[in-house]
Amino acid sequence: MHLEEILYLIEQKKYFILQTGKTSGLLALMAHINQNYNLNCIYMNVECAQTARENENVHEGMKSVIQELAIRSKIYLNNTLIENMLTKLFDETANMALFLIKR
């Protein structure tokens, strides 16, 4: 996928996930989006949930992903919203829900 295609999807408010073997390319794309768009873009690896998947423990897998998202939000965006709110909320329930947070 070329940069123009990715930027077109962003402008059309289409949601997508990129999977690539080049971390440096994803980090550059993240920086470009964060600097040039009114968006928050985060690079994260979800392999942290692999063990939970193998053990068929969805709750622990989702918790791992949310914790990784909180860490990356703090590192890349200096944003602690997820760290402060969603991880606590997730700990209070065994069921995962969809959370929409407006900036």
- Does this model's pTM top 0.75? My answer is no
Greater confidence (16 vs 89) lies with 16
Question: pLDDT of 40-71, one tens digit each?
Answer: 888 888 777 777 667 777 777 777 888 888 88
Distance set, CA 78 to CA 29, 62, 74 (Å): 18, 22, 4
